[in-house]
């Protein structure tokens, strides 16, 4: 009898430890979040929107593409930019060379209210004609009204062709 009680107590403890909190046990089908229906065409247009904001020459217009809590890991600076002011500072200097970006290749992945656009792009600088080839990743989040950049990583290609 003691063995049965001890075994029952042990099983009860094990089962109690396996119990999940209500939020953890909720399956994807029971979530109430509404997903933004999107397409590769819509997500690829977000780079075009960002690139056109570069053409304004106004750093504030470029930063409007970024979510409040976002990170910019830029091509020509070692400093991560976390705040709008830090991003504007970066773009103020970057825009002096009149950059125009062109996507060379990309892969787009879309999920519920998030999207990732990764690939290779080339910047041509209007002031010098110089070009910089770089790798990039933009992550986007749907805020209920528009897609905003939550992270943007860009790095120059390490090997010269």
Structural domain includes residue 23? no
pLDDT band at 22 (very low <50, low <70, confident <90, very high): very low
Establish if 1 belongs to a structural domain: no
**In this structure, is residue 82 part of a structural domain?**
yes
Q: Tell me the whole-structure pTM to 2 decimals.
A: 0.79
Going by the DSSP 8-state scheme, the letter that residue 57 receives in this structure is T
pLDDT tens for 68-118 read 999 999 988 899 999 999 999 999 999 999 999 999 999 999 999 999 999
What CATH number has the domain bearing residue 120? 3.10.450.50
Residue 100 lies in a domain: yes
Position 49 confidence tier, pLDDT thresholds 50, 70, 90: very high
Work out the pLDDT band at 6, boundaries 50, 70, 90.
Answer: very low
Domain annotation covers residue 59: yes
Distance CA 96, CA 70 (A): 23
Closest CA to 50 of 1, 91, 108: 91
Give Cβ neighbours of residue 113 (< 8 Å, ≥ 6 apart).
33, 35, 36, 141, 142
Number of domains in the chain: 1
pLDDT in tens, 104-147: 999 999 999 999 999 999 999 999 999 999 999 999 999 999 99
């Amino acid at each position: 009898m003691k063995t049965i009680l001890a075994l029952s107590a042990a099983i009860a403890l094990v089962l109690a430890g396996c119990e999940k909190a209500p939020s953890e046990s909720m399956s994807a089908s029971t979530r109430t979040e509404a997903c933004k229906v999107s397409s590769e065409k819509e997500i690829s247009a977000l780079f075009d929107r960002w690139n056109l904001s570069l053409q304004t020459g106004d750093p504030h217009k470029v930063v409007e593409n970024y979510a409040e809590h976002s990170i910019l890991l830029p091509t020509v600076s070692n400093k991560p930019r976390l705040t709008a002011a830090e991003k504007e500072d970066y773009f103020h200097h970057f825009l002096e060379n009149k950059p125009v970006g062109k996507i060379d290749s990309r892969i787009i992945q879309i999920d519920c209210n998030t999207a990732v656009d990764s690939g290779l792009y080339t910047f041509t600088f209007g002031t010098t004609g110089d070009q910089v080839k770089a790798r990039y990743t933009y992550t986007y989040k749907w805020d209920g009204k528009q897609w905003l950049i939550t992270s943007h990583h860009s790095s120059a290609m390490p090997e010269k062709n």
